[in-house]
């Protein structure tokens, strides 16, 4: 009777935050934790013309501002989630969000002094903090949301930060036009990063308080312990997917995390007899495990790598592209480039829901590559002497591409690898993606520079971007061929992407 009374009191006065409305406050804080990251990441894109003019940079030098961001993260996945494991997720959020402030502060100094080297250093530091902060956010949200709420939470954590990129594209050209100072425009980005840092501090406080209340609540309600462990399994699986969706790096979970993903190869009897082992959710590469990754994983990883390379590097030069190709000003091009971000943020959760119902991921992956081909063909073939509304159509299509990429391609990785190898699979994918994001801007910039002078010996930016479009169309077609090979490989093999195994409760 005494225990029952204490239990009732706990429900009235000692409920953990994650079992009250504070859960949604924590989700909002987690989303805005990465809002400033997304805003500052795309700062150069919105100001490309100004940066190149004031700092006398060619396209290769400008694109290096993005390549230098990704370069350190080619190495970081080899260390996996070890660092976050050692220092804890709350300390990780504090440190990595502070690194973002440091990196963006250096970029601001570079903007005021028009120092290209200083800006490169700031972007490099910013990249290190950004990728690690994404992993920390994935870890902490997997502890807060369990059961059926996980998908909604992860969808919002993916979508809301992308609105930061849209806001940057919208307001940065306007700020630059009004103040005429490159450093000041970057300074606004710094203030937004500091705002996100404040959201991180609030999330840390709520998480620490929630942990204390959860311990008390579990002592008063011991029967709930088993339910907590069961729900955590599902949260762990979704956190693995989210850490890659929000720009890949390391991911980690607490000691209570359990993998839910089962090996779907029905021919492997030994795996069916054993339960998936308890392990930490680290995107850590173990070279000894690479030999166990089958063809489906390697083909799918190549498709994911090329798909992201068809989206992000194009938008890196998107503002200048729309000025040259369609006659927009820097400000109006910035407004137009909000379309793919906003559209993707709205559509992605719904695409994820229906992709599971259709249960034909291999076909949806092929469809994704087809949409990429259509998008870049439109960008190649459509031409306007002055700003025209039809130029928005390929941007809508590009938003659909990113929605499919986020809701179909990335979540397919756990379906083609064993549960014991998810960390290795995601870690290796992070290496591949960051390699592409480091190289593709340099390739497209080199193509632009090498075709900038036309046959009459005159500077022709239109011709430079024309050859960039040829390149993107070619890569899109190559990606389509790879997707067809994945469809054939999967159809004639394990059919892991053609069916979803129902999970017994």
H-type alpha helices, 47-181: 48-55, 59-70, 82-87, 89-113, 116-144, 150-179
Provide the pLDDT confidence category of residue 267 given band limits of 50, 70 and 90. very low
Of the pLDDT bands very low, low, confident and very high (cuts 50, 70, 90), residue 98 is very high
d(CA 229, CA 265): 26
How sure is the predictor about 306, in pLDDT bands with cuts at 50, 70 and 90? very high
Mean pLDDT of 233-260: 42
Cα-Cα end-to-end distance for the chain = 32
Most confident of 55-59, 270-274, 458-462: 55-59
Each residue of 349-367: pLDDT tens digit?
A: 788 777 767 667 888 899 9
**What's phi and psi for 163, nearest 5 deg?**
-65, -20
Least confident span in 285-299, 438-452, 455-469: 285-299
Please, which pLDDT band fits residue 254 given cuts at 50, 70 and 90? Answer: very low
Query: Which sign does the torsion angle of CA 313, 315, 316, 319 carry?
Result: positive
Q: Which residue has the higher pLDDT, 392 or 254?
A: 392
Return the DSSP state at 79.
G
Share of the chain residues as helix, strand and coil, in percent rounded to the nearest 5: 80, 0, 20
Q: Predicted confidence band at 180 (pLDDT cuts at 50, 70, 90)?
A: confident
Q: Which of 203-217, 366-380, 403-417 has the highest mean pLDDT?
A: 366-380
pLDDT class of 483 with cuts at 50, 70, 90: very high
DSSP states of 15-52 = --GGGSTHHHHHHHHHHHHTHHHHHHHTHHHHTHHHHH
Tokens at residue 402, please? 């990113």
pLDDT band for 341, please (50, 70, 90 cuts): confident
Amino acid 153: pLDDT: 67
Spell 340-366 as b/e; 16+ CB within 10 A means b.
bbbbbbebbbebbeebeeeebbbbbbb
Query: Over the stretch 164-177, which tens digit does the pLDDT of each residue have?
Result: 988 999 999 999 98
Beta bridge mates, 459: 453
Total Cβ atoms within 10 A of residue 3: 10
């Amino acid at each position: 009777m005494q225990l029952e009374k204490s239990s009732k009191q706990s429900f009235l006065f000692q409920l953990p935050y994650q079992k009250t409305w504070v859960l949604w406050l924590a989700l909002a804080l987690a989303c805005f934790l990465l809002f400033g990251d997304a805003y500052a990441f795309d700062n150069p894109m919105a100001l490309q013309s100004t940066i190149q003019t004031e700092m006398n940079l060619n396209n290769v030098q400008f694109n290096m501002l993005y390549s230098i961001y990704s370069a350190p993260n080619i190495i970081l996945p080899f260390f996996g989630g070890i660092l976050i494991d050692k220092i804890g997720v709350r300390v990780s959020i504090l440190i990595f969000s502070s690194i973002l402030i440091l990196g963006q502060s250096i970029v601001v100094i570079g903007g005021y002094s028009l120092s290209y080297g200083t800006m490169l250093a700031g972007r490099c530091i910013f990249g290190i903090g950004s990728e690690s902060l994404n992993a920390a956010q994935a870890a902490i949200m997997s502890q807060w949301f369990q059961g059926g709420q996980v998908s909604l939470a992860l969808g919002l954590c993916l979508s809301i930060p992308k609105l930061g990129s849209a806001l940057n594209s919208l307001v940065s050209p306007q700020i630059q036009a009004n103040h005429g100072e490159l450093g000041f425009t970057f300074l606004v980005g710094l203030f937004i990063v500091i705002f996100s840092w404040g959201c991180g501090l609030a999330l840390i406080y709520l998480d620490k308080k929630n942990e204390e209340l959860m311990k008390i609540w579990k002592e008063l309600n011991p029967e709930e312990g088993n339910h907590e462990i069961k729900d955590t399994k599902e949260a762990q699986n979704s956190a693995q997917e989210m850490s890659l969706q929000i720009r890949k790096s390391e991911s980690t979970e607490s000691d209570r995390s359990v993998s839910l993903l089962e090996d779907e190869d029905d021919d492997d009897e030994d795996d069916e007899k054993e339960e998936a082992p308890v392990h930490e959710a680290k995107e850590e590469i173990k070279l000894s495990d690479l030999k166990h990754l089958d063809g489906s994983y390697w083909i799918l990883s190549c498709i994911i790598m090329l798909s992201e390379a068809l989206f992000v590097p194009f938008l890196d030069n998107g503002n200048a592209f729309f000025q040259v190709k369609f006659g927009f000003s820097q400000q109006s091009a910035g407004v137009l480039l909000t379309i793919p971000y906003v559209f993707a943020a709205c559509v992605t959760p719904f695409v994820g829901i229906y992709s599971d119902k259709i249960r034909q991921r291999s076909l949806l992956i092929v469809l994704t590559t087809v949409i990429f081909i259509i998008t870049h063909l439109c960008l190649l073939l459509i031409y306007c002497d002055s700003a025209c509304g039809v130029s928005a159509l390929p941007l809508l299509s590009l938003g659909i591409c990113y929605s499919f990429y986020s809701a179909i391609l990335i979540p397919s990785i756990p379906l083609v690898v064993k549960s014991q190898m998810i960390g290795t699979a995601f870690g290796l994918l992070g290496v591949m993606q960051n390699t592409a994001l480091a190289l593709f801007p340099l390739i497209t910039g080199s193509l632009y520079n090498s075709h900038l002078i036309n046959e009459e010996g005159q500077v022709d930016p239109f011709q430079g971007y024309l050859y960039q479009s040829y390149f993107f169309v070619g890569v899109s077609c190559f990606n389509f061929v790879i997707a067809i090979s994945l469809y054939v490989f999967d159809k004639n093999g394990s059919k892991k992407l053609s069916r979803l195994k129902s999970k017994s409760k």
